[in-house]
Structure 1
Amino acid sequence: MTSDGEPQRQSDRPPGMDDATVEALGLLSQALETTERARGRLYDFHQLTGNADKAVGEAVRRLREAGHHDQADLVEREVQGADVLPGMWTFQIVEAYDDGYHRRFVAAEQQVRDALGKGRTHIAEAEMKRRRRTT
């Protein structure tokens, strides 16, 4: 229970936490949420590029059927199944992001939140909700 008789919530400020710490944890959480959005766009990129490559394969097939073998060969050689970055297909970019930056960021945010906020999430947002609540 809190000092006002309310039940303790996951998002309640731990006793003794100052405003600056609440703000810093809120900014770190917001930054992590932004990377989650970026990660989603990376998966969009991965899937869109894969779908484009499938369409390229169909275009190559149809160019050949239409008798345009030189153009089909060009597209097949230069585009179909090509690396999007040197030595990498899109799934490898996604894996590198997930296994590197994203995993480190998630772990660091969790460690900071555990150390300073007793693992609690969205403290700043919960306090904003309580301040702005009209009913």
Structure 2
Amino acid sequence: MNETPEPTFGIDELCTLTGVARRTVRFYTQKGLLDPPEGERRGAYYTRRHLEQLLLIRKWQAAGVSLERIGRLLRGEEAGLPPAPEPGTIEVWSRVTLRPGLEVHLEPGRLGLTPEETRNLIQRLMMACEINP
């Protein structure tokens, strides 16, 4: 059987594909968010796994998740979302009016968001509403 080899990428190609700066890739690797490249020095290369990790990190960052929490999620120390509440469970939800006719209802505890992450998320949503009226 002829198996197609897994595609590999140099750091510049990986940066182009993900929109992440070279320095940021190295920072993520240093912090343990991104697996180290395969090979050594000039022969180092990245695989599809690295590409997927970087895209996931970018997605979570765009959603307002802190790098600290992203690290916990990637290490499996924290589940993505808690299970749905049982009937009769009492929760306190926040209702944020983004503009007339558009509201967001959220429960930061269920999302695992800190107060700072919640504020960041709301600010990003409000900015998006200003850009796209």
Q: Same fold (TM over 0.5)?
A: no
- Range into which the TM-score falls when normalised by the shorter chain: under 0.3
**Which has the larger share of helix?**
1
Structure of larger gyration radius: 1
Bigger relative contact order (CA 8 A; separation at least 6): 1
| TM-score with structure 2 setting the length | 0.22
**Which has the larger share of strand?**
2
